[in-house]
């Protein structure tokens, strides 16, 4: 399966211009025979807390990209903000080449260090979907630091995509954690980040595709563009040959979590 990660320099809070740029990358990917393309977190606005401007009630971004997916016959992963009753939600939606919504994930861990938790409510569901011949899941940016949800998702998922707005200042964390999540879950991990100076924060990109054994299939450094690569490995076969997941002790982990939680 041929996949692309779109590493974009997001124009701050300008949905129209970012959508036009996204269409250019989608067209480029489709012409290269790509079956699915993924964009960074909050793809059309950047990591903005200005939810009065960015949040949508009508899923307009999703509807527009459903039409674009059909036009180019390509699956699309897009980040957007939903307006809820109290505060907003940070969403990542995956759309099939037929314009069908395959997955709509809400970020489970808002980035409290930057105050995201003040403006965004946390999600509580892990989403799973099928694309190509693989089973997928998705998380968003800061979620990468919480390995437990990856272990749950990878009981089914063979590919996990992580869209992000991950600053260059912590780039080594990004690379290290992507590899760790791939190795410990024995699945493909695809990290798609933004690049450039966005609202006075420097982003280094380093969008990466990591194989289930931790090898870098592709990595895109400090510039805009699309990273195209093939998902070829048989994840089930790898897991059967080196059956790490069978040795996990779920009951023990759960009991210890309950013990620790009881101490709070």
Which residues belong to the active site? 41, 107, 141
Tokens 């999600």 belong to 123
Quick one: 11 exposed, middle or buried, by C-beta within 10 A (0-12, 13-18, 19+)?
middle
Please give the Cα distance from 261 to 264 (Å, whole number): 5
Distance set, CA 257 to CA 58, 127, 148 (Å): 39, 23, 11
**Integer-rounded Cα radius of gyration of the chain:** 18
Question: How many CA atoms are closer than 13 Å to the CA of 173, on its beta-carbon side?
Answer: 12
Question: How many CA atoms are closer than 13 Å to the CA of 212, on its beta-carbon side?
Answer: 22
The DSSP code sequence of 64-83 is HHHHHHHHHT-EEEEEEEEE
Strands 225-230 and 2-7: antiparallel
Contact 10, 18 (CB under 8 A): yes
Beta strand ranges found along the chain (DSSP E): 2-7, 36-38, 75-83, 88-95, 101-106, 128-131, 134-138, 159-163, 188-192, 195-198, 201-204, 207-210, 216-220, 225-230
Residue whose C-alpha is closest to residue 160's, from 210, 112, 97: 210
Tokens 């960074």 belong to 40
């Amino acid at each position: 399966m041929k996949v692309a990660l779109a590493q974009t320099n997001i124009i701050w809070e300008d949905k129209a211009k970012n959508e036009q740029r996204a269409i250019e990358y989608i067209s480029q990917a489709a012409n290269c025979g790509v079956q699915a393309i993924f964009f960074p977190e909050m793809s059309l606005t950047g990591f903005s807390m200005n939810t009065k401007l960015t949040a949508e009630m009508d899923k307009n971004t999703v509807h527009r990209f459903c039409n674009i997916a059909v036009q180019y016959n390509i699956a699309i992963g897009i980040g957007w903000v939903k307006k809820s009753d109290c505060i907003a939600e940070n969403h990542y939606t995956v759309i099939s080449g037929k314009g069908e919504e395959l997955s709509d994930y809400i970020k489970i861990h808002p980035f409290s260090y930057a105050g995201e938790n003040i403006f965004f409510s946390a999600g509580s569901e892990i989403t799973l979907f099928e694309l190509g011949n693989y089973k997928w899941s998705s998380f968003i940016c800061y979620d990468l630091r919480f390995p437990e949800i990856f272990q749950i998702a990878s009981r089914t998922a063979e590919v996990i995509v992580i869209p992000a707005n991950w600053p260059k200042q912590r780039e080594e964390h990004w690379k290290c954690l992507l590899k760790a999540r791939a190795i410990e879950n024995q699945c493909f991990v695809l990290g798609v980040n933004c690049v450039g100076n966005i609202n006075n924060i420097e982003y280094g990109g380093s969008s990466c595709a990591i194989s289930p054994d931790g090898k870098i299939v592709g990595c895109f450094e400090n510039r805009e563009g699309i990273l195209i690569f093939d998902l070829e490995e048989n994840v089930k076969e790898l897991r059967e040959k080196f059956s790490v997941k069978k040795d996990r002790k779920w009951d023990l982990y759960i009991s210890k979590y309950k013990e620790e939680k009881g101490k709070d």
